[in-house]
Amino acid sequence: MDDFVELKQYVSIILKRWWVIVLALIVAVALGYGYTQRQPRVYEATASILVGQSIQATDVNRAEIQVSEQLAETYAALARREPVLQGAVEELGLDMNWQGLRGRVSAKIVPGTQLVEVTVVAPSPEEARLIADAVARQLVLLSPTNLQNEESLQTVAFIEQRLETLQAKIEDGQQRLEELEATDVAGLSADEVAQLEKEISTIQNLISDWDQNYAQLLAFVNGQQSSNYLKIIEEAQGSLKPKSPNIQLNMMVSIIIGLALGLALVFVLEHLDDTVKVTDDMGQMFGLIPLGAVRKSKDKEYSKALITSQDRFSPDSEAYRMIRSNIQFMSVDGPGKSMLVTSAVRGEGKSRIVANLGVVLAQAGLKTIIVDTDLRRPVQQEIFDLPNQNGLTELLRKPNLAASEFLANTHIPGLQVLTSGVLPPNPSELVGSQRMQQVMAELSDMADMVIYDSPPVVIVADAAVLAKQVAGVVLVVEVDKTRRDVVNQAIFNLQQAEANVYGVVLNRVSKKRHSYYYQGYYYKQDAEGYSNQAGNKTWRKWLHLSR
């Protein structure tokens, strides 16, 4: 099971930074393609040479074949030596020395045969063909093949004529012998019979001599075949397809390198990334209880921030109800009547969480008040579309007025908002004043729950000042953005203020990672009603005990 979870985390890391892999792949393929296009085209041609004449002999001698194979190795080595290469350079008039040509020429033996293959690479198919044929011809010239041909040409021709003459004599003599042996000797005299027998004996001796001479001449002709004989059996043919660069191979290598580099970058970035992850163990890492997770919203406008009132049966609304229920059981003595919601730094979405928590609390039947104590960048008036002329700052400056006169009703039954009011030059002094404590006590008497939207606790001291005045604090952390050291600093600041930290809410979690917190929920109206009723009863039980 642990291995499966670990594998799932690896897949999640890869999916989170898939664009790094794609970018690395594109760059690698582009560089590989550019490198391939800049490489010179190289073409190849191969000429084949046969060593020995065993394939022409009717009586194959194994010893001669072995000698030919050994000679083939020698000729393969000679193909890249100075005599052969210099001869090819001079024959073709190449603009290079034999050492330069050597880098283009290779020779090898076809395993198990007497064939030597001479391969040449060149910038064009025609040039490769010409050089391969020239090297092959130089090997033939270096061998005794031509000398053998010149010396034995006249001898072989003469012997062939003699063989033809002897063959004719043997045939005529055999015919004459058959005629004499068929003669009827009954009517012949004794002298005639003796003369006949003498002629037959003479012809038989002649035929015997002729046969012997014919066999000797024929053996001589056959003996002219040599193991040290070279013949070009296949002239070079230039291929129109370049041998290099190999575009397909280069592209495959580029893809593999791109994927490997992309994966390596993904895990390096993940290792260097010290931001909070949805998979982090909040208790072990920060000592905080995870209260829930909120999915990332596509709507950036504050007017569309109240997702809990727009669709009560959506997964996002259920996530807020889960957070509400978890906060409900944070205190042994009761859930408390006030809580402060803050974040470590700006832009983590705490104000949206405050607004939606206020909605789900009101939907549970609890009279709820949201107080915007962020006197530097307030947004609750924009979320609920309320005027901001008379708010918290005006209430703090007028000690004789009741807080109820500054509360603004919302379209959510049971939910009121105390906006920030006109921004003051001294926000920290206002929220830390004695008047602020009086207002907070007055608001607690008026509602079942008061939620304070506070500035970031690491940036300004306002949150730390207010934290010890409420029953509990909820810390909002944006996943994959807020650094772990910043969260530790926020926790340290709250601990220094002796705040009761309920736990942490992870905000802007991707839909895929949201399943780490919420899986298997089906949102139906009946189930929603049951959840609200159960939460309402439990909350009201705590409120009754706290009073």
Q: Which of 298, 230, 204, 173 is nearest to 49 (CA)?
A: 230
Q: Are 475 and 501 in contact (CB under 8 A)?
A: yes
What's at 56, amino acid-wise? Answer: Q
Neighbours of 186 (CB within 10 A): 6
pLDDT band at 519 (very low <50, low <70, confident <90, very high): very low
Q: Which of 361, 346, 309 is nearest to 476 (CA)?
A: 346
- Predicted pLDDT of residue 183: 81
Choose the CATH number for 282-546 among 3.30.70.1290, 2.40.110.10, 3.40.50.300, 3.40.50.1000.
3.40.50.300
Q: Which of 259, 273, 267 is nearest to 21 (CA)?
A: 259
For range 228-247, the mean pLDDT? 81
- Predicted pLDDT of residue 515: 55
Phi, psi for residue 291 in degrees, rounded to 5: -90, -20
Looking at the predicted structure, is the pLDDT value of residue 35 above 60?
A: yes
The domain locations on the chain are 2-39+245-272, 43-144, 147-225, 282-546
Looking at the predicted structure, is the pLDDT value of residue 538 above 50?
A: no
Looking at the predicted structure, is the pLDDT value of residue 172 above 60?
A: yes
- Predicted pLDDT of residue 71: 84
Q: Give me 437's structure tokens.
A: 């404590």
Looking at the predicted structure, is the pLDDT value of residue 159 above 80?
A: no
pLDDT digits 0-9 by tens, 106-153: 999 998 888 999 999 999 999 999 999 999 999 888 877 654 454 555
Q: Report the predicted TM-score, pTM, of the whole model to 2 decimal places.
A: 0.58
In the chain, the percentage of residues whose pLDDT exceeds 90 is 44
Q: Which of 418, 374, 370 is nearest to 392 (CA)?
A: 418
Q: Give me 204's structure tokens.
A: 């038989």
Pairing of strands 472-478, 338-343: parallel
Phi, psi for residue 2 in degrees, rounded to 5: -65, -40
Rounded-to-5 percentages of helix, strand, coil across the chain: 55, 15, 30
- Predicted pLDDT of residue 383: 94
CA distance linking residue 182 with residue 499, whole number of Å: 144
Q: Would you say the C-alpha torsion 394, 399, 401, 402 has a positive or negative sign? A: positive
Helix or strand run (H / E) with residue 355: helix 350-363
- Residue 504, beta-bridge partner list: 290, 475
CA distance linking residue 199 with residue 372, whole number of Å: 148
43-144 shares its CATH topology with 282-546: no
Instruction: Map residue 371 onto helix, strand or coil.
Output: strand
pLDDT band at 513 (very low <50, low <70, confident <90, very high): low
pLDDT digits 0-9 by tens, 403-440: 999 999 999 999 999 999 999 998 989 999 999 999 99
Among all chains, which residue has been given the structure tokens 């014919």? 214
String of DSSP letters for 141-182? HHSTHHHHHHHHHHHHHHHHHHHHHHHHHHHHHHHHHHHHHT
- Predicted pLDDT of residue 539: 43
Neighbours of 212 (CB within 10 A): 11
CA distance linking residue 410 with residue 412, whole number of Å: 5
In 15-165, DSSP assigns E strands to 43-51, 105-109, 115-122
The larger pLDDT score, comparing residue 546 to residue 251, is at 251
- Predicted pLDDT of residue 534: 41
Q: Which of 45-49, 219-223, 389-393 has the lowest mean pLDDT?
A: 219-223
Task: Give the class (CATH, top level) of 43-144.
Answer: alpha beta
> What does pLDDT average to over the chain?
83
Instruction: Map residue 441 onto helix, strand or coil.
Output: helix
For range 249-259, the mean pLDDT? 92
Cα distances (Å, whole numbers) of residue 460 to 371, 381, 457: 18, 21, 6
Pairing of strands 115-122, 43-51: antiparallel
Q: Would you say the C-alpha torsion 64, 67, 69, 72 has a positive or negative sign? A: negative
Q: Give me 361's structure tokens.
A: 């609390």
pLDDT digits 0-9 by tens, 43-59: 999 999 988 776 655 55
Q: Which ranges constitute the DSSP H helices of 223-334?
A: 247-272, 282-286, 307-310, 315-328
CA distance linking residue 123 with residue 255, whole number of Å: 28
Phi, psi for residue 252 in degrees, rounded to 5: -65, -45
